[in-house]
Amino acid sequence: MTRPTLNIALIGSGFMGRAHALAFAAADRTFELPLSPRVVLLADRDPATAQGAAASLGIPKASGDWREAIADPGIGMVAIATPNLLHAPIAIAALEAGKVVYCEKPLATTIADAEAMTAAAAASGRPTAVGFTYLYNPMIALARELIAAGEIGEVTAFRGIHAEDFMASADAPFNWRCEPDQAGGALADIGSHIIAMAQHLAGDIASVAGRLHTAYPTRRDAEGTDRAVTVDDQMDAVVAFANGATGTLAASWIASGHKMGLSFEISGTKGSISFTQEQFNELKLYRAGPGRTNGFTTICAGPEHGDYGAFCPAPGHQIGYNDLKTIEVKAAVEAAAGLPSAAKSFADALAVERVADAIRRSHREGGWVRP
């Protein structure tokens, strides 16, 4: 039986745009989707960039203006993989044009833009999806199942960090990530991942006390000019969850030695769960009990763990980042079809942005702040 086609316009062709393009192609071959996703147009900052990327990715049409994608009546979904500053104008225009919107995180660079995007989604009635890629890991799905089943008892604490080192050196040049309106600092850029993970596993965050730190107040740009850095290199926060659990969150892009150190430990009254994205095909589970050899058990990902089996029939062989993106695309397509979906919506992403905004307010004002 022939499935309906979902024509997609992809906006942006950098690292994340390429990941989206590969994931759309892989998802249609890996899963039995309700719609057949086809990236038919790629838009970027100018025609030459768009044409070169479209040719390399096998996308039939290219444009130097994202508005062309919005205006095309044959486009059903707009996938946004641009710099963060452009998320809001593109998403709102796409929703007003009746498109499904699939947007990379963070949802926006300001809470006002995030709220406007979410309001536009509600007004349009169209499905939305947000690219919190690491939530789609089968091992994270397992962790959530274990928590829901009471395997570690009542959750008492969540300690999480997203640590990378791509800005650890003082010689790392000033770039778009250092612009407040482009990236918003480590908190907005990578901190959104650990906030999303905390709320996905431990529940809503009710209050925060946070601090932001800029390790390098100036960085040299490509022209050799010293530029002031007004965004954070590191965020640290103490949090209280609505269910009574407590925790800490941190985000740093100056954490020397860490490449993708999105890590957490969840403690409960009967056990604990530990995870790091740098070894994301493993989950460590501890069940409390007596004995000299009692400790954490390492669970290796296998075909019995959700969507892992769609990629590999054997345990321990491991899936990769692009496979997580493929699982994320599956959820986005299911949402586009109006089916139950694991996709995180704009409303979900707004909840993450409200926590990030509360951390910023706490840093400015001091003390505890409610999102």
Q: Is the pLDDT of residue 184 over 80?
A: no
To the nearest whole percent, how much of the chain has pLDDT over 90? 94
Residue range 24-38, pLDDT digits in tens = 999 999 999 999 999
Positive or negative torsion for Cα 315, 321, 324, 329: negative
Banded pLDDT at 177 (limits 50, 70, 90): confident
Structure tokens, 26: 């892989």
> Residue 334 in contact with residue 343, Cβ under 8 Å?
yes
Banded pLDDT at 183 (limits 50, 70, 90): confident
Residue range 257-314, pLDDT digits in tens = 999 999 999 999 999 999 999 999 999 999 998 888 899 999 999 999 999 999 999 9
Give the closest residue to 308 by CA, choosing from 323, 293, 287, 292: 323
Q: Is the pLDDT of residue 2 over 90?
A: no
Q: Is the pLDDT of residue 327 over 70?
A: yes
Give pLDDT, residue 1: 62
> Residue 5 in contact with residue 307, Cβ under 8 Å?
no
Q: Which domains does the chain have, with CATH numbers?
A: 5-134 (3.40.50.720), 138-279+281-319 (3.30.360.10)
Residue range 255-272, pLDDT digits in tens = 999 999 999 999 999 999
Residue range 100-119, pLDDT digits in tens = 999 999 999 899 999 999 99
Residue range 115-165, pLDDT digits in tens = 999 999 999 999 999 999 999 999 999 999 999 999 999 999 999 999 999
